[in-house]
């Protein structure tokens, strides 16, 4: 909790920054998007990965403040990538449950898009299945308004939550991000066959609903080839690029 309580002061001192991991088209190898991943350059503990502070920030509610900074920084940095030219990638931002359930989300995103000039189509919001577990109507309404603006909505870690698929009917989802654990199995023999069938089924489901599919945790050329053969649209993982600072992404776009 001490670490979590230090978040507001750390925000003021500028100790947080974003790395971006590429989402690569499996059809033509182009950079379709990047996922923003927050890091904390802690003065005593060094660079902290999100798993060491996001959970605490969610419990204490400070995730709203931190997540607001992430959203703003991602929009600012992504807007600068348009200068390079036509097919600038979208930036995909993780939203915690609390961020989606709080009333101010729509206004926050609208204001950010206006202030930064980032086109709505260049912003993707990643929500998890657990965000849609409650029966609250507010999040659905908010996500609909954002989708109507043109903002992309992705379901993160798809296939590992409580698989209530009803939200796919009620929500304006544009993309499913399939959890890396299914991809990891593509290597090995018998388990791999099951994982490959699950992946193929998820791709069919997504395409039947006019959604795109990104596979996460793609670490080898062999996995990428199997995913391409299955019809998966895009891939994210070490095989295509590790999370890297904004200037490295800009260099790749140019």
Task: Provide the token pair at 199.
Answer: 């992946």
Query: Considering CB distances under 5 to 8 angstroms, the limit depending on partner class, which of Na ion, ligand G, Mn ion, none binds residue 79?
Result: none
Q: Please tell me the distance from the alpha carbon of residue 20 to that of residue 93, in angstroms, as a whole number.
A: 10
**C-beta of 157 vs 196, nearer to Na ion:** 157
Considering only CA atoms, which of 206, 208, 203, 212 is closest in space to residue 230? 203
Binding span for Na ion by CB under 5 A among 36-44, 149-157, 181-189, 240-248: 149-157
Half-sphere exposure of 60 (CA within 13 A, CB side): 18
**By C-alpha distance, which of 254, 230, 241, 186 is closest to 34?**
241
CB of 82 to ligand G, least distance (A): 22
At CB < 8 A and 24+ separation, what contacts does 47-52 make? 52/3
Least distance to ligand G from the beta carbon of 162, Å? 17
Site stretch for ligand G (CB under 6 A), options 7-15, 26-34, 43-51, 112-120? 43-51
Under the binding rule (CB under 5 A), the answer on residue 157 touching Na ion is yes
* Residue 19 lies near Mn ion (rule: CB under 5 A): no
Minimum CB separation from Mn ion for residue 33, in Å?
Answer: 11
- Nearest distance from C-beta of residue 193 to Mn ion, angstroms: 27
Name the residue with tokens 């995913």: 227
The residues, any chain, with a CB within 8 Å of residue 76's CB and separated by 6 or more, are: 116
178: contact with ligand G by CB under 6 A: no
Query: What span, in angstroms and rounded, lies between the C-alpha atoms of 60 and 124?
Result: 25
Please state, in angstroms and rounded to a whole number, the distance separating the CA atoms of residues 89 and 92.
9
Stretch that binds Mn ion, among 60-68, 132-140, 153-161, 239-247 (CB under 5 A): 153-161
Determine which residue in the list 19, 156, 195, 196 makes contact with Na ion, applying CB under 5 A: 156
Site of interaction with ligand G (CB under 6 A): 21, 37-38, 49-51, 54, 67, 70, 94, 96, 156, 180, 216-219, 237-238, 243
């Amino acid at each position: 909790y001490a670490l979590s309580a230090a978040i507001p002061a750390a925000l003021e001192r500028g100790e947080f920054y974003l790395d971006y991991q590429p989402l690569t088209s499996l059809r033509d190898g182009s950079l379709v998007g990047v996922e923003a991943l927050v890091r904390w350059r802690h003065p005593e503990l060094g660079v902290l990965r999100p798993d060491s502070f996001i959970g605490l920030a969610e419990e204490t509610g400070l995730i709203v403040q931190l997540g607001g900074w992430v959203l703003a920084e991602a929009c600012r940095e992504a807007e600068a990538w348009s200068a390079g030219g036509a097919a600038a990638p979208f930036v995909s931002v993780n939203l915690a449950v609390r961020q989606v359930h709080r009333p101010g989300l729509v206004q926050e995103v609208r204001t950010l898009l206006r202030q930064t000039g980032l086109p709505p189509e260049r912003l993707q919001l990643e929500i998890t299945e657990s965000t849609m577990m409650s029966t609250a109507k507010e999040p659905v309404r908010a996500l609909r308004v954002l989708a109507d603006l043109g903002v992309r909505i992705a379901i993160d870690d798809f296939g590992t939550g409580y698989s209530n698929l009803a939200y796919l009917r009620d929500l304006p989802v544009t993309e499913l991000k399939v959890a890396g654990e299914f991809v990891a199995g593509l290597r090995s023999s018998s388990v791999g066959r099951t994982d490959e069938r699950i992946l193929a089924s998820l791709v069919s489901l997504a395409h039947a609903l006019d959604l795109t599919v990104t596979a996460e945790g793609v670490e080898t050329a062999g996995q990428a080839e199997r995913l391409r053969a299955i019809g998966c649209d895009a891939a994210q993982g070490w095989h295509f690029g590790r999370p890297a600072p904004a200037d490295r992404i800009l260099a790749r776009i140019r």
